[in-house]
Structure 1
Amino acid sequence: EQRMETRRTNYHRLRREQIQELEAVFREIPYPDEKLRKSLSERLGMSAQQVKFWFQNHRSNSKGKTQRRETTTLKLENQMLKSDRQAIMSAMENSTYLKCRGAVVKTQDTSERQRLFKENMKLKEELRLAATHLKEGLQQNGMWPRLTRN
């Protein structure tokens, strides 16, 4: 408990210039060696340990942001595929007209039905892959339970 209080009293925020320089180096070299960390610490008026921890924390935060961004992209892609698939299925069931990716097609035509069937199969596979990627992204972010094997 006393150690935590000591830590908090020694804690201070980095100045904007320090953060800007650290981020500039991070974009080029996310894993700086000891020599570069020492050089940065001297130039920025920080301890080598502060620089080391800043890079560790920044890598961790960047990874989380990237995973959240990828998960969002996968969710949007997943919704689009489901919507496309539903439109194709509905058109095939009703033998009506379907606006598919900008072109109007009549689903009663046999060759068009075959083309739509193939496209539907492709969408199903894309949907399966998107769902798999989404699940993996959610698992990596701790938002999907992992199955453990005994």
Structure 2
Amino acid sequence: LFKQCAYPSETRRRQISEELGLDINQVKFWFQNKKTQMKTINERLDNNVLRVENERIQSENLKMREALQKVFCVPCGGGAFGGAEERELSLQILKAENFLLTKEASKLFYLI
């Protein structure tokens, strides 16, 4: 009955009350209670879906944080963007390459 019409008119509620031998207010409150019950059930289902989605996102977030830590943290086993020592070494290598290229360019300039 509820699935057919969750919001019966007063006429329909009166008809139901006569068929079941109940007071019209009992029928009215039964429908109200049933709607509240259905709403509660649907909210619980929605909450469960959202909880699972939240757990999935938190897990994904944790994996991303761990991946970032490995990339950015040399002492923790991470890579390329380490501390001052690594930057200093890279700078020295670049300076040496620059010196060699400048020297080679000078030789070529004098040959032309």
User: Which aligned pairs between 1:92-107 and structure 2 lie closer than 5 A?
Assistant: 92-95=68-71
Aligned to 1:30: 6
Aligned to 1:89: 65
TM-score for the superposition, normalised by structure 1: 0.43
- Whole-Å Cα distance in 2 between the matches of residues 28 and 89 of structure 1? 51
Aligned to 1:113: none
Given residue 3 of structure 2, which amino acid in structure 1 is its aligned partner?
A: R
How far off its partner does 1:93 sit? 2.4
- Whole-Å Cα distance in 2 between the matches of residues 29 and 91 of structure 1? 54
Pairwise CA RMSD of aligned residues? Answer: 1.8
Is 2:27 the partner of 1:42? Answer: no
Structure 1 alignment gaps of length 5 or more: 1-24, 96-107, 109-150
Structure 2 alignment gaps of length 5 or more: 72-78, 80-112
1:66 to 42, 47, 53: 42
- Whole-Å Cα distance in 2 between the matches of residues 67 and 50 of structure 1? 25
Q: Secondary structure at the match of 1:30?
A: coil
How far off its partner does 1:91 sit? 2.1
Which of the two has greater strand per residue? Answer: 1
Given residue 69 of structure 1, which amino acid in structure 2 is its aligned partner?
A: L
Equivalenced residue count is 72
Aligned to 2:54: 78
Look at both structures and tell me which one has the larger radius of gyration over its CA atoms: 2
- Whole-Å Cα distance in 1 between the matches of residues 4 and 57 of structure 2? 37
**RCO higher in structure (CA 8 A, sep ≥6):** 1
TM-score for the superposition, normalised by structure 2: 0.56
How far off its partner does 1:32 sit? 0.6
